[in-house]
Chains A and B, each alone.
Chain A
Amino acid sequence: MTGRINKTLGLLIGAYLLVFLQSHWQGPRLWLGFQPDLTPALLVCAGLTLGAGQVSTSAMLTGLWLDSLSANPLGLSVLPLFVVGWVVFTFRELILRDELVAQFYLGTAAGAAVPVFQVWLLWLIGATPLIGWEMGVWWLINALLCGAAVPLFARLAKLLDRWFSHPLHDPNRWPNENRQIVRSKH
């Protein structure tokens, strides 16, 4: 139970800091010319490792935080992030989720799908975002960055889990000092 709470808390704090950095850290905008959005990668990570409630909570909060710091209508980003997290969560048993390549492909696909979904929703509600073909390059780079971010987030989550959770009790672990028969001369 404590482990689950730790994971949820870690995910939400991570999402909060990621949204803050995306809005307030100008470095990427100056180096790349655009602001990358890595929240889809976070949702892929949540979908691969956490439960249904955690995926939906993180999608809801991340989407609301992102929209509160942008001109998007409030709640617009929730649905694309939730769909990405939920699809990964539903099919995760069919995916080699511990493989780096699988994580990279999932992150890239999510990073490509979420902005398209968001722009489509904006058009649907009659908003006029500034879109052009030159953004295609950014879209591609953003997708690749998301792909690279998934393994990174997964490693970070494992590291934090090791630091803040008790190790699982595994009586069948080998070598097990409690059950080992130590033979002596006598």
Chain B
Amino acid sequence: MKRFFYRSQQTAVGAVLLTVFLLLVMPEGARARLKSAIGGLFLPVIGISTTGQVALESLGQLGATDAESFPTNQALGQAAGAPPTPAELQLDNERLAEENRQLREAVEWERRIPWETKLARVVGRDPFNWWRRIKINLGSNKGVQFNQPVISTQGQLVGRISEVGPLTSWVLLVGDPNCKFSALIKESRSQGGIVSPRKYSADPRVVELTYLPNDVELRPGQAVVTSGLGGGFPKEIPVGQVVDSWVSKNGLYVEARVKMHANLNQLEAVRVLTRF
């Protein structure tokens, strides 16, 4: 019995070490397929979770409509007893005007852009804090392809597609060490490259723009857009604004910190540029 116990322990250790060794020496393509297949095991729970979320949202909307249609006695009493003051009405008016402006902008933006986009829901994130990736609910079945650009619903740059599965895809967010691209200062048209910050920053919206020419005049607040060089991203997608700048240690180029427009920690839906 004791012998069997020790033998089973040896078998367990051996099996784990052999698996790790095989996975590490496996060809890249086979490993990616295996990774996709294992990740596919989570599709049923992703489906259940998404359906549940949608159902809850629709229930919430139903609840809101009911409440608006049948105001409570207390609300009626308040409305009858105390009419809103001009200041309250003005505040309400300003809020509605702002909402209207945002909706108009979104509609105008959709009409203006020359690209074909597909709306996707964010269904997951990389569980490790040292990578910045999100999972969306569109895959190769919806025409999503490797390296396609991804933007926020307001049209600001978010990242690019890094892995495509049959039903879901992974998006590499701007700021991840593996997501680098060419960008330019909109005003001066000076070109540089966006890279992730050298060291980890608690604010995921801050990235670095490097290799800017020495004679560039940078001011905080200047807009940064994609340059279109390399063909990975179309031209003129808004990226962010310059926060501050400095000359590199070797004095050969200028670097700047850029605060991105898109809030990458609170993305719920994104657009994949399928044709650009």
Binding site for B on A (CB under 8 A): 16-17, 19-20, 22-24, 26, 29-30, 33-35, 37, 51-53, 55-56, 59-60, 64-75, 78-79, 82, 86, 118-119, 122, 125, 128-135, 138
Contact = CB atoms under 8 A, between A and B. Distances in A.
A135 B35 CA distance: 27
A33 B202 CA distance: 8
A118 B131 CA distance: 13
B127 A23 contact: yes
A65 B38 contact: yes
Given A59-B16, A71-B178, A130-B200, 10 more contacts: A24-B124, A37-B127, A37-B128, A70-B131, A71-B176, A122-B130, A130-B130, A131-B130, A132-B197, A133-B199
Contacts of B197: 130, 132
Interface in B33-48: 34-36, 38-39, 41-42, 45-46
Contacts, number: 142
Interface in B91-113: none
Contacts of B202: 33, 134
Contact of A132 (B46, B124, B172, B201): B201
User: What 5 pairs across the A-B complex have the smallest Cβ distances?
Assistant: A132-B200, A75-B23, A129-B130, A132-B199, A56-B12
Contact of A74 (B8, B31, B133, B178): B31
Contacts of A79: 16, 20
16 contacts: A23-B42, A23-B135, A24-B123, A52-B12, A67-B35, A68-B42, A69-B42, A69-B124, A69-B135, A71-B178, A73-B23, A74-B31, A125-B24, A130-B132, A133-B200, A134-B201
Nearest to A142: B129
Nearest to B37: A68
Given A20-B45, A23-B126, A129 B35 contact: no
A29 B177 contact: no
A22 B19 CA distance: 24
Nearest to A24: B124
B20 to A, nearest CB: 5
B265 interface: yes
Contact of A70 (B23, B128, B200, B265): B128
Interface in B152-204: 162, 170, 172, 175-178, 196-197, 199-202
Given A56-B12, A130-B130, A138-B129, A75 B20 contact: yes
B129 A19 contact: no
A17 B45 CA distance: 9
Contacts of B229: none
A19 B130 CA distance: 17
B75 interface: no
B85 interface: no
Given A30-B265, A68-B39, A74-B23, A56 B125 contact: no
Given A66-B127, A68-B35, A119-B130, A24 B46 contact: yes
B17 to A, nearest CB: 8
A34 B129 contact: yes
B129 A35 contact: yes
B270 to A, nearest CB: 14
A125 B24 CA distance: 10
Nearest to A37: B127
A71 B175 CA distance: 14
Nearest to B162: A71
Given A52-B8, A130-B200, A26 B127 contact: no
A56 B201 contact: no
B272 to A, nearest CB: 19
Contacts of B266: 30
A18 to B, nearest CB: 10
B141 interface: no
A71 B131 contact: yes
A73 B126 CA distance: 13
B61 interface: no
B53 to A, nearest CB: 10
Contacts of A17: 45
B200 A24 contact: no
Nearest to B266: A30
B124 to A, nearest CB: 4
A82 B15 CA distance: 11
